[in-house]
């Protein structure tokens, strides 16, 4: 049997759905057997990640498109709805010099904003400027979905298999159990 490598951040994408219903895969299907193997390997990876010392640096590029909800106008003549044109109401791009250091279970994250919407910057200790999605310690995101502890709180399902740069890739859907109330990844 050919040994397969699983690289969380490159070869496997997790489709995170905030719907509160549960889906169960057929426990006898080949996909279910593969899924169990993948999830066990992911849990082992997360355990290593949780206990590792890291010095991680990268250039973080963020493209943000914000679509606003249609407006509801109420007047004495009744309710009218205005619809979105389908175009983003705001587009922003940010480029950060990102650094994450983890030593003895303490995490320090820092950013230098080097470009904002095409304009050069040099803003040290910059805060994340995204308007809709915020995150901290994103490198540990897999731990909040795939660690042994969190596996019990989600229903997982293989939804697609494909190749990415010559490597086999599995797309897994993770749906929170109905009783799970969280807005964090880690």
The domain segmentation of the chain, as residue ranges, is: 8-176
pLDDT value at residue 111: 95
- The two three-digit tokens of residue 179, written as one number: 């009783």
The Cα-based distances of 50 to 60, 148, 175, 180 in angstroms read 22, 11, 23, 22
Distance CA 128, CA 135 (A): 8
Give the residue from 176, 179, 177, 172 showing the smallest Cα distance to 34: 172
Quote the pTM value. 0.58
Distance CA 151, CA 156 (A): 9
**Residues 6+ positions from 154 with CB-CB distance below 8 Å:** 145, 174, 175, 176, 177, 180
Beta bridge pairs of residue 168: 163
pLDDT value at residue 29: 66
Q: What is the mean pLDDT of each run of 10 residues along the chain (186 residues)?
A: 34 32 49 89 92 90 80 54 59 93 88 96 94 79 90 92 90 86 57
Going along the chain, which residue ranges are E strands?
12-16, 54-66, 71-75, 78-82, 90-103, 106-116, 119-123, 154-164, 167-176
pLDDT value at residue 113: 97
- The two three-digit tokens of residue 80, written as one number: 């009218």
């Amino acid at each position: 049997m050919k040994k397969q490598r699983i690289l969380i951040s490159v070869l496997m994408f997790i489709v995170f759905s905030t719907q509160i219903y549960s889906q169960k895969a057929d426990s006898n299907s080949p996909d279910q057997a593969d899924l169990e193997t993948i999830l066990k390997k992911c849990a082992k990876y997360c355990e290593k990640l949780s206990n590792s010392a890291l010095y991680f640096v990268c250039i973080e590029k963020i493209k943000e498109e914000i679509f606003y909800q249609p407006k509801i106008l109420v007047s004495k003549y009744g309710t009218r709805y205005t619809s979105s044109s389908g175009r983003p109401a705001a587009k922003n791009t940010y480029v950060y010099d990102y650094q994450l250091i983890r030593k003895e279970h303490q995490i320090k994250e820092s950013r230098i904003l080097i470009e904002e919407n095409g304009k050069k910057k040099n803003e040290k200790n910059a805060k994340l400027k995204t308007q809709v999605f915020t995150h901290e310690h994103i490198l540990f995101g897999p731990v909040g979905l795939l660690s042994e502890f969190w596996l019990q709180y989600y229903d997982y399902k293989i939804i697609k298999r494909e190749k990415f740069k010559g490597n086999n890739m599995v797309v897994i859907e993770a749906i929170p159990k109905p009783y799970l109330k969280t807005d964090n990844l880690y």
